[in-house]
């Protein structure tokens, strides 16, 4: 069954967003005519937005069909026991021309109870940031539910939020229950649980082309915010060349930074998991068995779990390596 598997690319799913821009097209070469392309869903098993293979013999097959056919050969034995025919991660590139809404995501328990969904633990890797761009992550002081609600009512929420000025390479771990927002001028890679559940708490009072404000979810959000979280969202990581430098490791995913400099790296998959590579700069070639796939900046590839060994070659490339 696994003999047909190879490094798999999927057709990106582009999302038009009120806050989106054109960097996905101009910087990452995403072929789209959307006026406000905010997100490129690289690998998705979200209902209604399932990825479709874009290369090789399996071209045209959906991610869901691959799971039903290849099962543990695709995602690993332990992952298949836990997730079955549901791919556990959603992989994106995001371009924020304007500030995103201030938001948060529920944990697994709340998401299952309210939405029959996973929670949404996620991480960000900043690929490009305009001068003075920032992210909102957490609060800038100790906040109680009462204080939070008072600022929410007065539309002064930004006074208690933490703003971080960012640059390329900055990385953040966004746990469920943490208030956050991507700021205008930031383009980033996002790795998250397979979930599209977002609770918006403030959207800068903006309206769409028809004068309508987007829905807010404050009744749901107040029970989902974790007011006791530590300020441990900034990720420090090594940038040693030609090895995998672990960035984030949590129950939902592990992500490492890989800076390849004019060499060929032999990789062995010992994780009983699929492996994903997101190219955040440069260009690399991944070879498994007799199949080679080139990965350019802004592209993503899935290495099925059955591919136990492969090679990555590049003159100069920066990759994010992800597995569960």
Active site residue 200: yes
Q: How far is the C-alpha of 10 from the C-alpha of 2, rounded, in Å?
A: 19
Name the active-site residue from 97, 178, 200, 234: 200
Cβ-proximal residues to 41 (8 Å cutoff; 6+ apart), any chain: 12, 13, 14, 15, 49, 51, 90, 91, 92
> In Å, how far are 91, 119, 178, 261, 302 from 199, measured between CA atoms?
19, 12, 11, 41, 29
**Angle at alpha carbon of residue 152, lines to 38 and 122, rounded to 5°:** 40
Helices (H), the chain: 23-26, 63-70, 72-75, 77-83, 108-115, 145-153, 218-224
The DSSP output letter for 157 is G
Q: Which residues are catalytic?
A: 200
């Amino acid at each position: 069954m696994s003999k047909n598997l190879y490094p798999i690319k999927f057709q990106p799913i582009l999302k038009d967003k009120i806050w989106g821009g054109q960097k996905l097209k101009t910087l990452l070469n995403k072929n789209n005519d959307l006026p406000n392309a905010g997100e490129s869903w690289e690998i998705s098993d979200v209902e209604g937005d399932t990825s479709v293979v874009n290369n090789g013999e399996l071209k045209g097959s959906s991610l869901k069909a691959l799971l039903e056919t290849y099962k543990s050969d695709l995602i690993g034995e332990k992952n298949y026991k836990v997730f079955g025919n549901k791919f556990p991660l959603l992989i994106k590139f995001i371009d924020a021309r304007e500030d995103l809404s201030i938001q948060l995501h529920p944990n697994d328990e709340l998401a299952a109870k309210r939405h029959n969904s996973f929670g949404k633990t996620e991480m960000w890797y900043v690929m490009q940031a305009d001068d003075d761009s920032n992210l909102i992550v957490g609060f800038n002081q100790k906040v109680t539910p009462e204080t939070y609600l008072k600022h929410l009512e007065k539309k002064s929420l930004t006074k208690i939020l933490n703003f971080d000025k960012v640059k390329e390479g900055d990385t953040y771990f966004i746990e469920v229950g943490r208030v956050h927002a991507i700021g205008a001028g930031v383009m980033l890679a996002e790795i998250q649980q397979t979930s599209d559940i977002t609770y918006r708490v403030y959207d800068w009072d903006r309206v769409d082309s028809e004068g309508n404000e987007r829905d807010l979810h404050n009744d749901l959000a107040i029970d989902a915010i974790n007011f006791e979280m530590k300020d441990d969202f900034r990720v420090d990581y090594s940038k040693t060349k030609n090895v995998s430098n672990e960035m984030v490791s949590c129950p939902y995913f592990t992500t490492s930074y890989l800076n390849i400099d004019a060499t060929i790296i032999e990789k062995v998959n010992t994780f009983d998991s699929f492996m994903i590579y997101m190219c955040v700069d440069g260009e690399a070639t991944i070879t498994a068995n007799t199949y080679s796939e080139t990965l350019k900046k802004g592209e993503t590839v899935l290495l099925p779990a059955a591919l136990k060994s492969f090679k990555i070659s590049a003159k100069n490339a920066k990759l994010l390596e992800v597995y569960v």
